[in-house]
Amino acid sequence: MKKSTFSICLAMLLALSILLSACTAKVPTQGDNLPAEPTEKSMRLTIDSEPPNIDPQIGTDLYSIMIGGHVLEGLVRVYDGKVIPGIAEKWDISTDGLTYTFHLRDSKWSDGVPVTAQDFYYSIIRLLDPKTAAGYAEVMGFYIKNAEKFYNGEITDKAQVGVKVVDEKTLEITLENPTGYFIRLLGFMCFLPAREDMVTKHGEAYASEPDKMVFNGPYIVKEWKHEEAVVLAKNPNFWDKDKVKMDIIDLPIVTEATTAINMYETGEIVTAAIPEEMLDQYIQNGKAKLMPNGGLFWLQFNFSSKSNGDILANTNFRKAVSYAIDRESLMKAVVKRGLPASRYVPNNIMGLSDKYAAENPMDVLPAKADTAKAKEYFELALKELNLTADKFPTIKLLGADSSSARKVCEAVQDMLLNNLGVKLELINVPSKQRLQLVNERDYEMAYANWFPDYDDPMTYLDVWVTGGGFNRSDYSNPKFDSLIKEAKAATDEKVRQQKMLEAEKILIEDMTVVPAYWGANAYVQSDKLVNYVRSMVGADPDLTYVDIKE
């Protein structure tokens, strides 16, 4: 979703809890010249959900992306907002902006096998192979020449796809159209390498256990206790290992933010997410760190629901829900960080030279609930659906089981009942299960989110093309599809931006989802942490070069 990831609920509550495990050198007992045993640096960073998998072409959720970005290294790495060399130590771009030639450095997988251009070729073709069912194939992969045709079965010869192994250390990628931000995409999860022999050997079980994959990133997965913890260890074969300071990063799964903040208060850990109910306190004492994270939190609808699909696919019903939501109250009383969403694309995403929202103002979603308009649209929906208010069914709202997600779902439940007379049945389940239910279209309404995969409006917009891998509402609008296609083909950035703006207006008019708020991370952090990088896109936090001062 960064980024979408598809994403999971309230990623901003990624429990940023780090524990320094004190490991001291052994004191010599005989003589002063005996060498001390080496110290081992370790830290603990809690996550609030089990990653479904860390297969780079399959993983789409926040935690798969976060962990995958630490155990795998792509052609490039997006670190602290900047593109830096990864396995490709340099690259050339043709004058027409279509062909990228990557020159790979000498590097090895964790089992000692050399990393080659073939590894990246295989991974990109695997991403685009419809048999893989990769969620990011369309939104990330279709920039590559003939990728869409290959994915749709219009061509079957892989040699016609714009990916070519020139030699063992040289990879060439050709695009459909010049895409200035393409180099940034290559640092994202779906373009990270998977080694063919390991995928072939383990099949669907690939990347489900530490011994069922190999690693070429700064860390390896040392241990994976499902539903309990993931333990990362420094990768001795990583090409830049000398700059990696941590030997062990322990990632226990902790669903309650209050647990982490209590550990911080007692001095057990050096950073933690701030629970909503404590945010005012930390802002007042000046200890809170706030960072807009680019997350758009929304209510989405399953247009193809077997039970209430006609209702959920009704535009006037969705507009009624939008006007019944009090975004300002939701922020002040429940979320307490970020901003009420006034449109679809968040206001901190880049445009031409300034922020996209500033260059294209469009504040169309009300901060306060408008019950009159909500009821007006609801009456229209009832007529179109041939229903009466007293016969309107209870709608099921799916959300994660974290404390923050439950609170938001409960607030939405109250708002729709009080402002619209619509009853919601809340279903809160572990994030992994919530994601599975949404993927399988086994839901009616869902509280969900989308985080940017790269810093551009397109990362929010092309989610909703007809048949898209992350279009889990089954929304379809031919005009919208056409605008997205035209925007991606545009060589003039001003034309491209205008097409994206028109597409965004369609999403708002159709009320594809109901945007609720734009997220922000709120956390406390000790001065002991060095190179602790928070990022709006990709793996957040980025612990590649993190260190703790003695």
- Report DSSP letters for 378-430, one per residue: HHHHHHHHT--GGGPPPEEEEEESSHHHHHHHHHHHHHHHHHH---EEEEEE-
Span 223-234, mean pLDDT? Answer: 95
Task: Quote the pLDDT of residue 264.
Answer: 85
Tens digit of pLDDT for each residue in 117-128?
A: 999 999 999 999
Per-residue pLDDT at 526 exceeds 90: no
Contact 537, 11 (CB under 8 A): no
Task: Quote the pLDDT of residue 537.
Answer: 81
State the number of CA atoms in the 13 A half-sphere of 368 facing the CB. 3
Span 519-548, mean pLDDT? Answer: 90
Contact 234, 69 (CB under 8 A): no
Q: What is the DSSP letter of 49?
A: S
Span 268-280, mean pLDDT? Answer: 85
Task: Quote the pLDDT of residue 337.
Answer: 87
The share of the chain scoring above pLDDT 90, in percent, equals 73
| Amino acid identity at 40 | E
Span 341-362, mean pLDDT? Answer: 93
Residue of 9, 18, 12 whose CA lies nearest to 61 = 9
Per-residue pLDDT at 33 exceeds 60: no
Per-residue pLDDT at 24 exceeds 50: no
Per-residue pLDDT at 23 exceeds 60: no
Burial of 233: CB neighbours in 10 Å, binned 0-12, 13-18, 19+: buried
Burial of 334: CB neighbours in 10 Å, binned 0-12, 13-18, 19+: middle
Residue of 207, 133, 185 whose CA lies nearest to 538 = 185
d(CA 360, CA 355): 9
Q: Mapping DSSP to helix (H, G, I), strand (E, B) and coil, where does residue 294 land?
A: strand
With cut-offs at 50, 70 and 90, classify the pLDDT of residue 522: very high
d(CA 191, CA 195): 12
Q: Report which secondary-structure segment, H or E, holds 272.
A: strand 271-273
Q: Report which secondary-structure segment, H or E, holds 199.
A: helix 196-202
| Better-scored residue on pLDDT, 240 or 280 | 240
Contact 213, 163 (CB under 8 A): no
Tens digit of pLDDT for each residue in 390-445?
A: 999 999 999 999 888 999 999 999 999 999 999 999 999 998 899 999 999 999 99
Per-residue pLDDT at 18 exceeds 50: no
With cut-offs at 50, 70 and 90, classify the pLDDT of residue 22: very low
Triad 540, 276, 291: Cα angle to 5°? 35
Span 53-61, mean pLDDT? Answer: 92
The domains located in the chain, with CATH, are 49-252 (3.90.76.10), 293-520 (3.10.105.10)
**Could you write out the three-class secondary structure of 82-149?**
EEEECCEEEEEECCCCCEEEEEECCCECCCCCECCHHHHHHHHHHHHCHHHCCCCHHHHHCCECCHHH
- Mean pLDDT taken over the chain: 90
Task: Quote the pLDDT of residue 130.
Answer: 94
**Residue position matching structure tokens 């010869």:** 157
**Residue position matching structure tokens 């830049």:** 240
Overall residue count recorded for the chain in this entry: 550
Backbone dihedral region for residue 538 (phi beyond 0: left; psi -120 to 50: alpha; all else: beta): left
Task: Quote the pLDDT of residue 38.
Answer: 60
d(CA 358, CA 351): 8
Task: Quote the pLDDT of residue 516.
Answer: 97
Span 65-91, mean pLDDT? Answer: 95
Contact 404, 410 (CB under 8 A): no
| Better-scored residue on pLDDT, 263 or 131 | 131
Per-residue pLDDT at 2 exceeds 90: no
Tens digit of pLDDT for each residue in 190-201?
A: 999 999 999 999
Residue of 145, 165, 164 whose CA lies nearest to 155 = 145
With cut-offs at 50, 70 and 90, classify the pLDDT of residue 91: very high
Task: Quote the pLDDT of residue 6.
Answer: 37
Task: Quote the pLDDT of residue 325.
Answer: 98
Task: Quote the pLDDT of residue 62.
Answer: 85
Span 472-496, mean pLDDT? Answer: 94
Task: Quote the pLDDT of residue 37.
Answer: 53
Span 377-399, mean pLDDT? Answer: 97
With cut-offs at 50, 70 and 90, classify the pLDDT of residue 453: confident
If one counts every other C-beta atom within 10 angstroms of the C-beta of residue 138, the result is: 21
Query: What percent helix, strand, coil does the chain show, rounded to 5?
Result: 35, 20, 45
Task: Quote the pLDDT of residue 36.
Answer: 52
Task: Quote the pLDDT of residue 339.
Answer: 94
With cut-offs at 50, 70 and 90, classify the pLDDT of residue 321: very high
Report the DSSP beta bridge partners of residue 445. Answer: 301, 397
Contact 500, 457 (CB under 8 A): yes
Rg of the chain over all Cα atoms, to the nearest angstrom: 24
Task: Quote the pLDDT of residue 276.
Answer: 83
d(CA 518, CA 527): 28
Task: Quote the pLDDT of residue 230.
Answer: 94
